[in-house]
Amino acid sequence: MRDGHLQPMEQVRRDSSAGIRWTRRTRRRATMASAAAVIFLVFAFAASATAASPAAPPVKTVQVDVIGDSLSTGYRTPGDTWPGQAQKIVAGMGLNAHITNASENGAGYVQPGQDGDVFLDLVNRIVNSHAQVVVLFGSDNDAGRSGEVTAVQAALARVKALAPHAAVILVGPTSESDDPTGSLAGIRQTLATAASGIGATFVDPISLGWFQGSASADLSADLEHPNTAGELYLAQHMTAVMAPALKTAMQRNEARAGWPVRVRLTDAVRAV
C-alpha cells in the first residue's frame, strides 16, 4: 500500500517458497517468455532433426512401356506419335513418368510386323523389372487369325514374369465404325477375358466410339491411322486411361523414397 491505497494494476501476492513478488504485469511477461521459449524449442527441434536426417533420395520416375502396332508408330505422321504427345501431357499434369514406345507397323499378338515381331517379341525387347505401367494397344492385324487366345495369354504371362508389380492396361483395336460386321469382335472379347483373368484394365475404343462419327475427321485418308490432329486426340484418350495407374505408381515411389512427414509449426506448438 502507498498512502493507504492499493497500487493500480499491481495486486501483489507472495510466493511462499521463494518470496518473489508477482504482479499481473510480471505474470504476463513470464507467459510471453514461455511462449517464445516453446517456439524456439520447436524450431530448434526441427533444425536438429533436419540436420541429423540424411536427405531423402529422389523419387524414381514411373517407367511406362507401350507395345503396339502402326496406330502407335506414327505411320501416317512420321516423327509425331501419340506416345510422344502423351509424354508432354503427362508432364503438364505433374506426373513424373517416362514413356517408352516399342510399337511396330503391322504387328499383333499373332500377326508378325514389318520386322517379323509379334507383341510377345516386343514385350521381351523392352519390359523389365523397372516397368511400372505396361500398355498393350491393338491389334486389328489379328482379325480373323487363329491362335489369338494362346498368343494373348503368352504375351501377358511374359509381362507378369518380367514386371510382376506393373499395372497392365490392354487397349483393343480402333475403328471408324462400331464394327458392324463383327470382324474385330473376336480379338476384343479375347482381350477383355484375358485382362479380367490377370486383374488388368481393358479399354475398348470401339464401344467408346473414339474415332467414330465426327471424330473420324482425326483419321488420315485411309480411315484407320490417326492424322496429326488424331495423334493428339489419341494421346488425350490414352493419357486419361493411363493416369490412374501413373498416380498410384508415383505414390508408391514417394513412399519408397521415404519422403519426410511435414509437420506444420502451429500443430507442433499445440502439441507442446
How many domains would you assign to the chain? Answer: 2
Main-chain phi, psi angles of 109, to 5 degrees: -70, -35
Is residue 268 situated within a structural domain?
no
Is residue 172 situated within a structural domain?
yes
pLDDT in tens, 138-172: 999 999 899 999 999 999 999 999 999 999 999 99
Residue 169: its H or E element: strand 167-171
- The pTM assigned to this predicted structure is 0.75
Is residue 271 situated within a structural domain?
no
A 10 A CB-CB count for 241 gives 18
Identify the pLDDT of residue 258: 80
**pLDDT value at 266 more than 70:** no
Q: Residue 5 belongs to what domain range?
A: 1-53
Lowest mean pLDDT among 1-5, 115-119, 185-189, 206-210: 1-5
Lowest mean pLDDT among 28-37, 82-91, 210-219, 234-243: 28-37
Q: Return the C-alpha cell found at 217.
A: 475427321
Catalytic residue among 53, 183, 207, 222: 222
Q: Binning pLDDT at 50, 70 and 90, where does residue 1 land?
A: very low
Is residue 168 situated within a structural domain?
yes
Identify the pLDDT of residue 10: 44
Question: Domain of 247: which CATH number?
Answer: 3.40.50.1110
Rounded to the nearest 5 percent, the helix, strand and coil shares of the chain are 50, 15, 40
Identify the pLDDT of residue 91: 95
Lowest mean pLDDT among 171-180, 217-226, 233-242, 253-262: 253-262
Is residue 158 situated within a structural domain?
yes
Identify the pLDDT of residue 11: 46
Is residue 136 situated within a structural domain?
yes
Do 21 and 70 share a domain, yes or no?
A: no
Q: Binning pLDDT at 50, 70 and 90, where does residue 272 land?
A: very low
Distance CA 134, CA 171 (A): 11
**pLDDT value at 21 more than 70:** no
Active site residue 121: no
Distance CA 161, CA 183 (A): 31
Catalytic residue among 70, 72, 103, 175: 70
Do 22 and 86 share a domain, yes or no?
A: no
Do 13 and 91 share a domain, yes or no?
A: no
Judging by beta carbons within 10 Å of its beta carbon (0-12, 13-18, 19+), is residue 141 exposed, middle or buried?
buried
Show the CA angle centred on residue 201, arms to residues 152 and 135, nearest 5°: 65
- 147: region left, alpha or beta (phi > 0 left; psi from -120 to 50 alpha): left
Is residue 269 situated within a structural domain?
no
pLDDT in tens, 81-129: 999 999 999 999 999 999 999 999 999 999 999 999 999 999 999 999 9
Identify the pLDDT of residue 257: 81
| Cis, peptide link before residue 139, omega less than 30° from 0 | yes
Identify the pLDDT of residue 256: 84
Do 66 and 40 share a domain, yes or no?
A: no
Active site residue 5: no
Do 45 and 71 share a domain, yes or no?
A: no
Q: Return the C-alpha cell found at 55.
A: 536427405
Catalytic residue among 65, 69, 179, 225: 225
What type of residue sits at position 264?
R
Active site residue 53: no
Do 141 and 16 share a domain, yes or no?
A: no
Q: Is 116 in contact with 108 (CB distance < 8 Å)?
A: no
| Between residues 8 and 265, the one the model is more confident about | 8
